[in-house]
């Protein structure tokens, strides 16, 4: 089983839609979780951390389910500028382990 797995998508949604991604991780020792965003041919950028109690930042909500070993990212009121690949990160130790990413395309 891969350490971090994500649905590659693409998720094609209209502007204003709500979309959610899940990411499963295999190492129960992972303590910190993150979502990164990567635009086409650009570097990844930290989007938000995922805390046990959940984390909300504007239109973005991240949640952690330790029992089922998955994290989720919810995007409300999608904008065209949200189109990107979203990478889930679940480091078991000192190094980041990235999922392959979920591609989101927001259409007008």
Partner 1 sequence: NAGVMQNPRHLVRRRGQEARLRCSPMKGHSHVYWYRQLPEEGLKFMVYLQKENIIDESGMPKERFSAEFPKEGPSILRIQQVVRGDSAAYFCASSPVESSYEQYFGPGTRLTVT
State which residue, 32 or 52, has the beta carbon closest to partner 1.
32
Close Cβ partners of 92 (under 8 Å, ≥ 6 residues apart): 3, 27, 29, 30
The least distance separating partner 1 from the CB of residue 23, rounded to whole angstroms, comes to 12
Give me the DSSP letters along 56-67: EETTEEEEEETT
Do 75 and 14 meet the contact criterion of CB atoms below 8 Å apart?
Answer: no
**Does residue 20 belong to the site contacting partner 1 (CB under 8 A)?**
no
> What is the spatial distance between Cα 90 and Cα 70, in angstroms, rounded to a whole number?
10
Neighbours of 76 (CB within 10 A): 14
Q: Which of 41, 24, 53 is nearest to 85 (CA)?
A: 41
Q: Which of 29, 40, 43, 58 binds partner 1 (CB under 8 A)?
A: 43
Q: Which of 48, 71, 75, 99 binds partner 1 (CB under 8 A)?
A: 99
Total of chain residues touching partner 1, rule CB under 8 A:
19
State which residue, 3 or 13, has the beta carbon closest to partner 1.
3
State which residue, 19 or 89, has the beta carbon closest to partner 1.
89
**Does residue 50 belong to the site contacting partner 1 (CB under 8 A)?**
no
Q: Using CB under 8 A as the criterion, which residues of the chain lie in contact with partner 1 when the complex forms?
A: 32, 34, 41-46, 87, 89, 91, 94-101
């Amino acid at each position: 089983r891969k350490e971090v797995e994500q649905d590659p998508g693409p998720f094609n949604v209209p502007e204003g839609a709500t979309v959610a991604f899940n990411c499963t991780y295999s190492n129960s020792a992972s303590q910190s979780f993150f979502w990164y965003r990567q635009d086409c041919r650009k570097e990844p950028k930290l989007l938000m951390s995922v805390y046990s109690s959940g984390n909300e930042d504007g239109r973005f909500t991240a949640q952690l389910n330790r029992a089922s070993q998955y994290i989720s990212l919810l995007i409300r009121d999608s904008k065209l500028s949200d189109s990107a690949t979203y990478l889930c990160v679940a480091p078991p130790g000192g190094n980041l382990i990235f999922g392959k990413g979920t591609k989101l395309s927001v259409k007008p």
